[in-house]
Amino acid sequence: MKLFSTALVFSALLAAAPAFAQGKPAAAAAAATAGSITIAAPWSRATAPGAANGACFFVATNAGGEADRIVAASSPVAQKAELHTHRQEDGVMKMRQVEAIDVKPGEPATLRPGGLHVMLMGLKEPLKQGATFPVTLTFAKAGPVTVEVTVQEAGAMAPGGMAHGQPMPHQMPGGHAPGGHAPMGQHQPQNPPMKH
């Protein structure tokens, strides 16, 4: 399975060179591990100047024997980070905060546009394509793990190098097409344009 082999390659690279290449435009997203948890291909999308919010995505796999879950997130680029999903409500796809994101053995959690994501709320500056920034994910059991997120172009649907041939499983009922990320201002009272 492609995602697993990618994660393994990234783990091997990290083991050989534990230092993150911070502040350098990264062609390929880095991965990070905490215990039996691997976070592969963390990525985000460039945001327009003045955009209030961004989002980040990744694939979390669990090579251990016990279920774990992401219970919190934070990043220095945003005032706060929340765990979100999209839900179909009254025929409209809306973002909703979730308490946790399960990462169970054999069931990778795939965060992607139109589905689960880490919402970066109150961006301190725009996310620029090619830049990287840290996001810390806190697991209930594995504890905190910081990943270096690579910013892809605005509207990107996948991390760089994985856009072609990557299956995009439908987790949402109601015919939400990949790429059909409807404008969503529901949880933004001040109503700036939503760019993720």
Chain residues that interact with Cu ion, rule: CB under 5 A: 84, 95, 119
Of 119 and 145, nearer to Cu ion (C-beta) is: 119
Of 7 and 73, nearer to Cu ion (C-beta) is: 73
Q: How far is the CB of 51 from Cu ion (least distance, A)?
A: 13
Q: How far is the CB of 66 from Cu ion (least distance, A)?
A: 28
Q: How far is the CB of 84 from Cu ion (least distance, A)?
A: 3
How far are the Cα atoms of 21, 26, 90, 115, 118 from residue 96, in angstroms, in the given order? 33, 31, 14, 10, 11
| Helix residue spans in the chain (DSSP H) | 2-16
155: left (phi over 0), alpha (psi -120 to 50) or beta: left
Q: How far is the CB of 21 from Cu ion (least distance, A)?
A: 28
Q: How far is the CB of 119 from Cu ion (least distance, A)?
A: 4
Torsion of CA 42, 162, 25, 84, to 10 degrees: -30
Of 21 and 92, nearer to Cu ion (C-beta) is: 92
How far is residue 73's CA from residue 41's CA, in Å, rounded to a whole number? Answer: 16
Of 30 and 119, nearer to Cu ion (C-beta) is: 119
How far are the Cα atoms of 23, 34, 94, 155 from residue 62, in angstroms, in the given order? 28, 10, 28, 29
| Helix residue spans in 26-112 (DSSP H) | none
Of 8 and 184, nearer to Cu ion (C-beta) is: 184
